[in-house]
């Protein structure tokens, strides 16, 4: 990827206002499986398809199975940020990156030091009692066997956007604003299959559009530079 990395370095040096838009592929090098790769969660066998388990209806009807899958497959509390998370945090600190917009719920961008992280699909680190609203951290949910209940008796719900649920309008508004004002948009580690998230990149009207993704994305975004490789390794070399 030598030539592509050189080009990416030039683009970064030419940018004052980079926005990064990413997905599960950003965290695979931290050991968290994505959904649609060869060894992604969608290729594994469960009694129900993952899309169904992490839907709102399923959460309400079968909370036991939901939490079994969620705790086992989605709550990777020991994962550490990789070179991609770290480089993005560094760019923000240097004043060349304004926002990381992520579909991930793992909190690894913040763990790497990023400050402006727009979490389109929420976070495993925030959990609320559906009855009284009391906050619980990820450790509490993960370590509680079965369905986690609040001290008031209510069921605790992770602050993640399940299938059938809407995105937070404030996060949408901030994401669209960041993308519309970026001079460079780097899209990485996302299949661009999940909507409405994948549609937000259409607001980009800046100069440089880059895609770093192992496989082809579901939609053609007209990038000036496409790097089909591992994002952590590539970002480390920039």
Single out the residue of 52, 32, 34, 56 nearest to residue 43, CA to CA.
34
Contact between 121 and ligand NAD by CB under 6 A: the answer reads yes
Among 53, 86, 176, 231, binds ligand NAD (CB under 6 A): 231
129 labelled binding-site residue? yes
Least separation in angstroms between residue 212's CB and ligand NAD is 6
Residues 6+ apart with CB under 8 A from 165: 56
Among 190, 201, 210, 235, binds ligand NAD (CB under 6 A): 190
Compute how many residues bind ligand NAD; rule: CB under 6 A.
Answer: 28
Residue 190 exposed, middle or buried by CB count within 10 Å (0-12, 13-18, 19+): buried
Residue 31 exposed, middle or buried by CB count within 10 Å (0-12, 13-18, 19+): exposed
28 labelled binding-site residue? yes
Contact between 123 and ligand NAD by CB under 6 A: the answer reads no
Residue 151, SS3? Answer: coil
CA atoms within 13 A on the CB side of 216: 4
121 labelled binding-site residue? yes
Contact between 193 and ligand NAD by CB under 6 A: the answer reads yes
By beta-carbon proximity to ligand NAD, the closer residue of 34 and 150 is 34
Segment interacting with ligand NAD, rule: CB under 6 A, options 5-13, 90-98, 133-141, 190-198: 190-198
**Cα–Cα dist 238/231, whole Å:** 11
**Cα–Cα dist 51/90, whole Å:** 34
Restricting to residues 58-117, name those near ligand NAD by CB under 6 A.
103-106
Residue 129, SS3? Answer: strand
Among 36, 126, 177, 207, binds ligand NAD (CB under 6 A): 36
Active site residue 85: no
| Catalytic residue list | 121
Which residues are at the interface with ligand NAD (CB under 6 A)? Answer: 23-25, 27-29, 32, 34-37, 40, 103-106, 121, 189-191, 193-194, 212-215, 230-231
């Amino acid at each position: 990827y030598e030539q592509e990395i050189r080009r990416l370095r030039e683009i970064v040096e030419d940018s004052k206002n980079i926005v990064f838009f990413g997905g599960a592929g950003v965290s695979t090098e931290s050991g968290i499986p994505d959904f649609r790769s060869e060894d992604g969660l969608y290729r594994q066998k469960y009694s129900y398809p993952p899309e169904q388990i992490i839907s709102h209806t399923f959460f309400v009807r079968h909370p036991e199975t939901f939490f079994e899958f969620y705790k086992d497959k989605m709550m990777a509390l020991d994962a550490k940020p990789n070179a991609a998370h770290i480089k993005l945090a560094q760019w923000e600190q240097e004043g060349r990156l304004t926002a990381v917009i992520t579909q991930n719920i793992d909190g690894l961008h913040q763990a790497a030091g990023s400050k402006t992280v727009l979490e389109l699909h929420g976070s495993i680190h925030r959990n609320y009692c559906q009855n009284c609203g009391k906050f619980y951290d990820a450790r509490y949910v993960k370590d509680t066997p079965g369905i986690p209940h609040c001290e008031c008796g209510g069921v605790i719900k992770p602050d993640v956007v399940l299938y059938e649920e809407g995105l937070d309008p404030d996060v949408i508004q901030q994401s669209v604003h960041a993308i519309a004002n970026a001079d460079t948009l780097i899209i990485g580690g996302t299949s661009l299959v999940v909507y409405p998230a994948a549609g937000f990149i259409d607001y980009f009207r800046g100069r440089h559009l880059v895609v770093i993704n192992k496989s082809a994305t579901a939609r053609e975004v007209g990038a000036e530079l496409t790097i089909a490789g591992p994002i952590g390794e590539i970002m480390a070399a920039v």
